[in-house]
Structure 1
Amino acid sequence: MSFLRTNPRATARLRMATLVAVPVLAFSVACGGGDDSADGAKKDDAIADVPDAPAASAAKGESKPNTRPAGKSAFYDAQMKYVQCMRTKAGYKDFPDPTLSGYLDTTKIDELASRLGRNIGTKDGKDRLCIPAQQAAMMAEPKRDQQKDYESMLAHAKCMRDNGVSKFTNPTMSSGNAQPGGDPNPASPSIDPESPSYKQAREACKSKLLDGLEGRQ
């Protein structure tokens, strides 16, 4: 029986290759393990920490907080107290609610005045009992952009003239505040707001006025 004889030099080279291969294999395993464990865990944690996007929250049916400005809410509440005063102490039980922004609904107020045959407008009511509530509502009104108000009333005044109310004057700016236009001589009116032509023009031009300006000009 014969035995296979191994070359001593070949044996030495084989041992050296084995010694080199083992550390390389260990290094490769370590790197691979890092990707699958430590770094992978960090990536998973990072993804888990990202808050839901608005669309995702909406899809889950999560409710959104009320974002309406506190000032607007306070203004609306103050106007409601004035409206309640007009309904009870002043005797106008059908006095309309304010709009959602808090401003009085002048169109509905005018309709009520016409139905009752008297001009209630935004007056203080019977025996002036609603003056405190009216003043409180005025104080609670959010600050307005006077330049935007002026531009809105200017467009409205031009529209009124274009629709047949030729004497309707432009607004003005005084000390940084927009002053309404309208009748050139309010003390001795030359424009009849109850005339069919005026009402028609007002209806055609009401979209020119920003919220809260209707009834002021």
Structure 2
Amino acid sequence: MSIPTTTTAGLRLAAFVAVPVLALTVACGGNDGTTGTKSHDTVADVPAPKSEPSEAGSTPGTPSAKPAGKSAFFDAQVVFVRCMRTEGGYKDYPDPKLSGHLDWEKVNEIGSRPGRNEGIKAGKNNVCLDELQAALAAEPKRDQQKAYESMLAHAQCMRDNGISRFTNPVMSGGNAVPGGDPNPASPVYAPDSPAYKEARAACKSKLLDGLDGMQ
């Protein structure tokens, strides 16, 4: 075109909430998601899978056995996904992975469709922003040096694959701040272009789980 420690995510979150069209954002277009008073009690849970938990990269529903040590994060992501489906304008928003992280490959695919590049991060009119922030707050702490090294390798790969202005991440205050489009408010490359998609596909293995939605 795809959210990390809470501090790191906050540095990126402010940008996409303030600017509706960013390099990785994608919005509701023709979906008329209902806004207004929220009533999550009336919303069905994300469906449970019929098979055993799958490997990272799949899109399972709510598992019967929650990932050890990550249940709070997983539960918060389930609430966010439910909001995106019922109020945010994305009925097909994918389930979180068993790790609790969103499946950004599928999220970005949905957002790349015409007219859907504005609310993919927090829903139509940011209606799911509270749920998003709660999920970010519940995310387990990440090794910031490893995150930086992963994003640096990804940025170099993107440039090697034709996205020449893809910027490097930086370390700020002990946190890894993602790179990407040098001007997210007015993107210099088209994330829905074939060349960009090919580069993303070639470089996706460089990013640790959960970082694919950050740069």
**TM-score, length-normalised on structure 1?**
0.65
Q: Is the 8 A contact 1:99 1:105 kept in 2?
A: yes
Within 5 Å, give how 1:144-183 maps onto structure 2.
144-183=142-181
How many angstroms does 1:111 deviate by? 1.7
Aligned with 1:73 (options 71, 74, 77): 71
Write the distance in 1 (CA, Å) between the matches of 2:213 and 2:200: 10
2:126 maps to a residue whose letter is R
1:136-175, Cα deviation, whole Å (9 max, x unpaired): 1111000011000000001001111111111111111011
* 1:121–1:149 distance in 2 versus 1, CA, 3 Å: farther
Matched with 2:61 is: none
Gaps of at least 5 residues in structure 1 are: 1-65
Report which of the two has the higher share of helix. Answer: 1
1:83-105, Cα deviation, whole Å (9 max, x unpaired): 01111122321111011111111
Could you tell me the percent identity over the aligned residues? 67
Q: Is the 8 A contact 1:106 1:121 kept in 2?
A: no
Paired positions, count:
151
Q: Is the 8 A contact 1:157 1:182 kept in 2?
A: yes
Q: Is the 8 A contact 1:110 1:121 kept in 2?
A: no
* 1:73–1:122 distance in 2 versus 1, CA, 3 Å: farther
- Describe the SS at the equivalent of 2:81: helix
Within 5 Å, give how 1:115-154 maps onto structure 2.
115=113, 117-120=115-118, 122-154=120-152
Structure 1 runs (4+) greater than 4 angstroms displaced: none
Write the distance in 2 (CA, Å) between the matches of 1:170 and 1:80: 31
Write the distance in 2 (CA, Å) between the matches of 1:106 and 1:130: 17
Matched with 1:57 is: none
RMSD of aligned residue pairs (Cα, Å):
1.8
How many angstroms does 1:117 deviate by? 3.3
* 1:192–1:170 distance in 2 versus 1, CA, 3 Å: same
Write the distance in 2 (CA, Å) between the matches of 1:121 and 1:211: 22
Matched with 1:63 is: none
**TM-score, length-normalised on structure 2?**
0.65
Write the distance in 2 (CA, Å) between the matches of 1:130 and 1:191: 27
Write the distance in 2 (CA, Å) between the matches of 1:121 and 1:127: 7
Gaps of at least 5 residues in structure 2 are: 1-64
Q: Is the 8 A contact 1:150 1:173 kept in 2?
A: yes
Moved more, 142-151 or 179-188: 179-188
Which protein shows a greater Rg?
1
